[in-house]
């Protein structure tokens, strides 16, 4: 992979990771437009690794929350008196909500790097999950805040995060949609979405690192793509998080449908090939 391609993919990742438009779907589309084999383990690994750059930006943005939750969790582990702290409970909610993606990611790793790595899958997922997002907003009550999160909420949202293993669904789109369907307000759903994303994306990046570095992509392009992803994401994360939290996610549905429909046309006419 050329450094220019790595920079471009890093920019795409940094801009799309926090929006409900599917960063993996966009990375798959752009990688194919650049002529890369999107089914290659090295390319799949590269897209997973550069997501770590974007998630580091989230870690920095949420650093105060993360430190507070970790402090409360460790205190509660060793002293029963601290287990009534809401932050101790919230830390456990994040841990429990992260378990489904660990199991699904491991068991479905061959599907993710194989049959699901298809532009047809991306196109259909962009359109279909756009419908789910419309329904979620239509039914959203938004009458429950973050302090009212339940174990059922976090498990269901954690399961929804697994759907983002399908390129085109969108991790934030899936988790925020389910959060809204559970009656959470958009701020609570968004914050939980990104807190759950930290262990999920870091774990995926570490797991895929060997394929990205040892494969055809190489260490330098992987490093460059990750750094660019971090810089772009860090420059925009605050605005993006506020925007997603305060605006209906339906504003992104039309964009998803447009990209999905355009992709289907390009694939159907042979202008864009699904395989290298």
With beta carbons less than 8 A apart as the criterion, state whether 220 and 4 touch. Answer: no
C-alpha–C-alpha distance, residues 84 and 82, integer Å: 5
* 75-93 per-residue burial string, b: 16 or more CB within 10 A, e: under 16: ebeeeeebeebebbbbbbb
State the alpha helices, DSSP H only, in the chain: 3-16, 23-33, 41-61, 63-78, 86-107, 109-112, 119-139, 151-163, 171-181, 186-214, 219-246, 253-268
Whose CA is closest to 105, among 31, 201, 173, 175? 201
pLDDT in tens, 119-142: 999 999 999 999 999 999 999 888
Under 8 Å CB-to-CB from 242, ≥6 apart: which residues?
A: none
pLDDT in tens, 59-108: 898 889 899 999 999 999 888 888 888 899 999 999 999 888 888 877 76
pLDDT in tens, 208-266: 666 666 656 778 888 999 999 999 998 888 787 778 777 888 889 999 999 999 999 99
In terms of C-beta density within 10 A (0-12 exposed, 13-18 middle, 19 or more buried), how is residue 144 classed? middle
The structure's pTM equals 0.85
pLDDT in tens, 7-29: 999 999 999 988 889 888 899 89
pLDDT of residue 272: 85
CA torsion angle for 113, 107, 225, 58 (degrees, to 10)? Answer: 140
State the alpha helices, DSSP H only, in 62-170: 63-78, 86-107, 109-112, 119-139, 151-163
Q: What average pLDDT does range 27-42 have in this prediction?
A: 84
With beta carbons less than 8 A apart as the criterion, state whether 249 and 137 touch. Answer: yes
C-alpha–C-alpha distance, residues 117 and 107, integer Å: 16
Joined tokens for residue 27: 């990375």
- Mapped onto helix, strand or coil, the DSSP state of residue 144 is strand
Q: Please provide the size of the chain in residues.
A: 276
With beta carbons less than 8 A apart as the criterion, state whether 224 and 50 touch. Answer: no
Q: What average pLDDT does range 36-64 have in this prediction?
A: 83
Under 8 Å CB-to-CB from 177, ≥6 apart: which residues?
A: 20, 129, 132, 133, 136, 160, 249
């Amino acid at each position: 992979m050329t450094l220019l391609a790595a920079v471009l993919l890093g920019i795409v990742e940094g801009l799309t990771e926090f929006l409900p438009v599917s960063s993996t779907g966009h990375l798959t589309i752009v990688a194919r437009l650049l002529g890369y084999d999107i089914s290659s383990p090295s390319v799949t690994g590269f897209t997973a690794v550069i997501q770590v750059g974007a998630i580091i930006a989230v870690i920095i943005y949420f650093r105060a929350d993360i430190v507070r939750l970790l402090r409360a969790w460790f205190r509660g582990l060793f002293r029963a008196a601290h287990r009534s702290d809401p932050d101790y409970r919230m830390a456990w909610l994040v841990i429990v909500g992260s378990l489904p993606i660990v199991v699904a990611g491991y068991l479905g790793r061959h599907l993710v790097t194989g049959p699901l790595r298809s532009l047809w899958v991306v196109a259909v997922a962009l359109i279909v999950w756009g419908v789910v997002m419309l329904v979620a907003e239509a039914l959203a009550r938004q009458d429950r805040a973050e302090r009212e999160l339940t174990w059922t909420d976090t498990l269901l949202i954690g399961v929804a995060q697994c759907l983002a293993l399908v390129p085109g669904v969108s991790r934030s789109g899936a988790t925020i949609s389910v959060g809204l369907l559970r009656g959470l307000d958009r701020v609570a759903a968004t914050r939980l979405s990104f807190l759950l994303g930290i262990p999920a994306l870091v774990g995926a990046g570490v797991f895929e690192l060997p394929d990205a570095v040892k494969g055809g992509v190489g260490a330098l392009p992987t490093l460059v793509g990750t750094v660019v992803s971090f810089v772009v994401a860090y420059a925009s994360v605050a605005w993006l998080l506020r925007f997603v939290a305060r605006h209906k996610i339906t504003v992104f549905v039309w964009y998803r449908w447009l990209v999905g429909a355009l992709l289907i046309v390009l694939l159907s006419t042979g202008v864009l090939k699904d395989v290298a």
